[in-house]
Chain A
Amino acid sequence: MNKINEVIRKSVPAKDIASLDIYNPTIAEKAKPGQFVVVRAFKNSERIPLTIADNDAAAGTINLTILKSGKSTHILCELQAGDTIHDVAGPLGKNTEIENFGTVAIIGGGVGIAPTLPIIKAMKKAGNHLITVFGARSKDGLIFEEKAEKYSDEFYICTDDGSKGYKGFVSDFFSDYLLKNPAKKINRVIAIGPALMMKAVSDVTKTALIKTIVSLNPIMVDGTGMCGSCRVEVAGKTKFACVDGPEFDGHEVDFKLLINRLNIYCEEEKISLEKYRESRKCRMDS
């Protein structure tokens, strides 16, 4: 018998990335592409939002794929099968709009590749011609290529260092792609990844007049609309990403504000991670 929020399976698809299947039948049954959960690892931990990368209603599991960056993600990435997460709340946010748009391009960057998977599957199922573009710093950072390629009609890889596929950013690749395929009508683009990457893709598609959906990643606390920590500006209006999003029209998002707000706790995040590393070191020494 599995415990609620137990890590059922763990894999490490790339360096510093952990992919966890978590037992939570309720969320597994309810989750739709594009939604997220808020997770608190232990009693003293903070609450962090993580997009649901996959869900298996029959097995009662959701997949969370996490990049080690600060203290909380370090803790989560170090969990092993059999460990449990203190709190998992969700599914939260609005789900991705899925229908047969015609041709859809799905662009994932870094760990942002993970949450594109359920969208890729759903868009394919809805009958779209699917162009998938995945990007990472180098080939070691790429994840879920096989899974995505299976559903995609066209599948492309980009790496910043050129160690695999196109050398350069996904936005540059996509710009080139549009130039090389002038006759191709792309009805919708979905971009998920770092804020700068989503901004760059939105800039490319704005000139090309392709409707572009981005999944924003602001700082969150409760994730249910009660605090406004995650507020973003879309078409000049303040929105709460946790309830009004997290997906918005990339051409209307104020990315400068988003990036500025993502840096609020830089100092504190450093202190927290440093202290955690120290404590790990002490434990290893003793």
Chain B
Amino acid sequence: MQNGQLKPKKEKISRTKIAEQPAGLRVNNFNEVELGYSEDEAVRESSRCLMCKIPKCIEGCPVEIDIKSFIAYIKEKEFLKALEKIQEKNSLPGVCGRVCPQEDQCEKVCILGIKDEPVAIGKLERFAADYAKKKLESGSKAPGAAGSEPGSFQTSDKSSPDANSGSSSKKIKVAIVGSGPAGLTCAGELAKMGYDVTIFEALHSPGGVLVYGIPEFRLPKSIVQEEVEFIEKLGVEIRLNAIIGKTFTIDELFQDGYQSVFLGTGAGLPYFMDIPGENYNGVYSANEYLTRVNLMKSYLFPDWDTPVKKGSVVSVVGGGNVALDSARTAKRLGAEKVYIIYRRSEVEMPGRIEEIKHAKEEGIEMVFLTNPVEIIGENGWVKKIKCIKMELGEPDDSGRRRPIAVPGSEYEIDTDIVVIAIGQGPNPVLTQTAPDIILNKRGNIVTDQKTGKTSKKGVFAGGDIVTGAATVILAMGAGKIAAEAMDEYLKTGKW
């Protein structure tokens, strides 16, 4: 290139940092770690977007949010319009902006990411959701929302003229089993299409893993509640304490007039390691540990009734987000030392990069290439965890290098709480009572990928119950695909 032809260089703006609670402070509370963008920061970050003609980011999003358009609205300070744009595709923006692994999705394919850091799409999505929430709380008239009252954005979906009109007795009834991300999304979509939607939830609060699994410091429960209320405002009824497979069977739902059923029951069955000593007092599944703390609020014991064992040394087994959440929870409950014991090395950890970083800042100690072989007890309580060192061999089916035990390398770690976070499988309570739904050998429901159709007429499924434990946004994508297929089925009767 010749010198004379240099164009005036556009000033490079680096990715806008997000404010966070300092590590030393946040380990003493369950408040959210990331504090979110201010209006100025959001506008600044959105101005980094190149407004690509063919935006790759949209393809990277499992529910194909019109990212370019919503970012353009933020840039113009039309924050509520930005949210409306997101809500066309995504009913849980406050959740997704926080917990999606954007580094593997929208932000992974952002063109800026080739030479620089990608646009902070997730944090902008979160900003839009939080901005509207704040406006709603303050009750002031929102700027930019032309002619709309505060809060009206929540039901402003213009593509759904039937959604809240017409006699409900004429509406076709559909049932959604499970109120996690897949079920909520499917329900929201069907309600917008004009169906009479009922969600059946086994627990006493809706949200699935969003309420019992992901901790408050990563996803405040008030956000989940708001987004569930948004779905309810679309006309969806949520029946709590209703366990399909026990309280009702799927066939009974059909007898009761439901024309189609979506199963979004998730991967709620905890796996244990099947090693000696796993039933000693002080050994938890991550599901139990996190349910006690998040859903039952045992971090507020005795103001809330459910207890949880605190312990001064906590060992968490596993390397995913559930392990990271458990370890960081243990720290906040007052543990002096928290270990994450993972059989592979750091690069293979399936947890989000951001959360691994947060965990390290909070003083969680990572013990890599190590696998527990036995839990040693004393008087019925956990005392030590015996581990063996591992080395990495050839890649396995998952593409990750297979860990192999090093003979004779066993050693013991003193610990008084062990949390097992090695994965979850499908809960069989529902499928046991529906023998006509075909399962694979892992117990997941077999579906047609394009529609979510199961082997039982009128029954669709999606999310972790089909894929095994995956991400919130993939479950939402599956809920959305199924909603469209259910609409098609209900209109045509074709199976």
Which residues of A come within 8 Å of B, CB atoms? 26-27, 30, 40, 44-47, 71-72, 86-92, 221-222, 224-229, 231, 233, 238, 243, 257, 260-261, 263-265, 268-269, 271-272, 275
Contact = CB atoms under 8 A, between A and B. Distances in A.
Contact of B305 (A72, A87, A92): A72
Nearest to B252: A30
Mostly helix, strand, loop or mixed at chain A's interface?
mixed
B246 A92 contact: yes
Interface string B421-455: 00000011100000000000000000000000000
Contacts of A243: 428-429
A88 B241 contact: yes
A227 B288 contact: yes
A238 B247 contact: no
13 contacts: A27-B247, A71-B305, A89-B241, A221-B291, A224-B246, A224-B429, A225-B427, A225-B428, A225-B429, A238-B272, A238-B278, A260-B281, A264-B281
The 8 closest A-B pairs by CB, nearest first: A268-B307, A227-B288, A260-B380, A89-B241, A226-B268, A46-B305, A46-B306, A87-B204
Nearest to A86: B204
B240 A87 contact: yes
Contacts of B287: 226-228
Given A228-B287, A238-B272, A272-B302, A89 B380 contact: no
A221 B301 contact: no
A221 B291 CA distance: 8
A71 B306 CA distance: 11
Given A87-B241, A227-B285, A268-B301, A40 B268 contact: no
B329 to A, nearest CB: 15
Nearest to A233: B279
Nearest to B310: A268
A246 to B, nearest CB: 14
Interface string B280-310: 0110110110011000110001111111010
A227 B291 contact: yes
Given A224-B246, A226-B270, 19 more contacts: A26-B242, A40-B204, A47-B306, A71-B305, A88-B241, A89-B202, A89-B203, A91-B246, A222-B203, A225-B429, A226-B287, A226-B291, A227-B288, A227-B291, A238-B272, A260-B380, A264-B309, A269-B307, A272-B307
A228 B301 contact: no
Contacts of A229: 284, 288
A46 B307 CA distance: 8
Contacts of B380: 260-261, 263
A224 B272 contact: no
Contacts of B241: 87-89
Interface in B195-253: 202-204, 240-243, 246-248
A226 B307 contact: no
Contacts of B247: 26-27, 30, 89-91
Contact of B291 (A45, A72, A222, A275): A222
B238 to A, nearest CB: 13
B35 interface: no
Contacts of A71: 305
Interface of B: 202-204, 240-243, 246-248, 268-270, 272, 278-279, 281-282, 284-285, 287-288, 291-292, 296-297, 301-307, 309, 380, 427-429
A272 B204 contact: no
Given A44-B304, A263-B281, A228 B288 contact: yes
B291 A44 contact: no
Contacts of B296: 46-47, 221
Contacts of B307: 46, 265, 268-269, 272
Contacts of B304: 44, 46
A275 B278 contact: no
A77 to B, nearest CB: 15
* Central interface residue in B270, B306, B429, by most chain A CB within 10 Å: B306
Nearest to A230: B288
* Central interface residue in B241, B281, B303, by most chain A CB within 10 Å: B241
Contacts of B303: 44
A90 B241 CA distance: 7
Contacts of B242: 26, 89
B270 A228 contact: yes
B368 to A, nearest CB: 26
B426 to A, nearest CB: 10
* Central interface residue in A47, A87, A227, A257, by most chain B CB within 10 Å: A227
Nearest to B286: A227
B390 to A, nearest CB: 25
A27 B272 CA distance: 32
A44 B278 CA distance: 30
Nearest to B268: A226
B41 to A, nearest CB: 37
Contacts of B268: 224-226
Nearest to B247: A26
Contacts of A91: 246-247
Nearest to A75: B305
Given A89-B204, A227-B291, A261 B279 contact: yes
Contacts of A72: 305
A241 B304 CA distance: 25
B305 A224 contact: no
Nearest to B204: A87
Nearest to A268: B307
Contacts of A257: 279
A228 B240 contact: no
Contacts of A45: 305
B270 A227 contact: yes
* Central interface residue in A27, A228, A271, by most chain B CB within 10 Å: A228
Nearest to B248: A26
Contacts of A40: 204
A238 B275 CA distance: 11
B200 to A, nearest CB: 11
Contacts of B288: 221, 227-229
Contacts of A231: 279
